[in-house]
Amino acid sequence: MTQPSDKALVPFVSVDNMMRLVHHVGIEQILREIADYIEEDFKRWELFDKTPRVASHSDVGVIELMPTSDGEAYGFKYVNGHPKNTKEGLQTVTAFGLLADVYTGYPVLLSEMTLLTALRTAATSAMVAKHLAPKGSKTMAMIGNGAQSEFQTLAMKAIIGLENVRLYDIDPAATEKCARNLSKMGVNVTKCATPEEAIQGAQILTTCTADKKSATILSDNMVGAGVHINAIGGDCPGKTELAAGILERADVFVEFPEQTRIEGEIQQMADDFPVTEMWEVILGQKPGRRDDKQITLFDGVGFATEDFSALRYIRDRVTGSDFCEELDMLADPDDPRDLFGMVQRSNA
């Protein structure tokens, strides 16, 4: 057997190693650190090569590739979205991602991203809430208690000091699961029987449900003045969670308008519906929250730069550590023109 050269080996972070890393760093600390990387990259927004995701749709779901580059590193994520999977005992969303060196084109990191996507989605929501939610927000309504709900709650605790979460799901078993997982995590949990009950006293309303169809999770009369809405479940064409009336009363903030107009809550609105891009708020070029009565709405769909930031964080964290293993994924003969000779010699 021919030993592969160093350049042939790509560091790989397995699911098991990602879980070990989360415990090693601590769930709240890793959410804070990932949020910092995401915020840094929002500040460098204009230098990224941005493109809407490349989607392959079928009757039952979608498979997407989300590439981006900052000119030095290139990253992409593979992610599927299959809402019917849950009923079959499978994840709705699975993902993995890759970072490569733009100068050589060689991959430098392969990582699981099912967990990392949950972490970066929660970190993004909380980083955005830091800029938009009422100062001193202590209570969040969490509507939809699926795979993302605990991560969303803990990111809000870690990054903006959330103390109370009020849970509601159409399936009480999901709420039980979320409440159980959040016990002993340092946040007060209230299980609610209706969405109306869940939003009582909440400064932040997070919607994260999984049905691949337009539904009205929040109706117009449920949303009072001054709240921040973190709408992350409406993330593909034909899937929304909010009544259009809410969008009309709110100031809407987005990641990448070209993608959000296709996939987000604002797909219900006219093509020129006014939105503010988060990178401009983060850089201080546009106002975020202006007053106590304003409804701010983050229409989050997830953007490629957030995955790029998360992969960049993981690369910086795991390179040279035992949180990754080396994968023999690249053929790299000593003489680059002698690929065939490498194959021949491997049989010796």
* Residues within window 146-165 making contact with a copy of itself, judged by CB under 8 A: 146-151
Binding mask 40-59 for a copy of itself (x = CB under 8 A): ---------x-x--x-x-x-
Spatial CB neighbours of 293, under 8 Å, sequence gap ≥ 6:
225, 226
Q: Which of 235, 272, 291, 335 is catalytic?
A: 235
- Gap between the Cα atoms of 202 and 227, Å rounded: 8
Q: For a copy of itself, which is the closer residue by CB, 30 or 246?
A: 30
State yes or no: is 235 an active-site residue. yes
Which of 29, 43, 47, 90 contacts a copy of itself by CB under 8 A? 90
* 328 lies in the site for a copy of itself, by CB under 8 A: yes
Which of 47, 193, 225, 331 contacts a copy of itself by CB under 8 A? 331
DSSP state, 175? Answer: H
Two tokens, residue 347: 């049989």
- Gap between the Cα atoms of 8 and 108, Å rounded: 10
Q: Residue 294: which region, alpha, beta or left (left: phi > 0; alpha: psi -120 to 50)?
A: beta
Q: From 106-114, 192-200, 235-243, 310-318, give the range in contact with a copy of itself by CB under 8 A.
A: 106-114
Q: For a copy of itself, which is the closer residue by CB, 58 or 194?
A: 58
Alpha carbon separation from 95 to 161, 265, 308 (Å, rounded): 29, 23, 13
Binding to a copy of itself, residues 113-152 (CB under 8 A): 114-115, 118, 145-151
- Gap between the Cα atoms of 266 and 248, Å rounded: 10
Q: For a copy of itself, which is the closer residue by CB, 100 or 204?
A: 100
Binding to a copy of itself, residues 241-300 (CB under 8 A): none
- Gap between the Cα atoms of 328 and 337, Å rounded: 19
Provide the annotated active-site residues.
Answer: 235
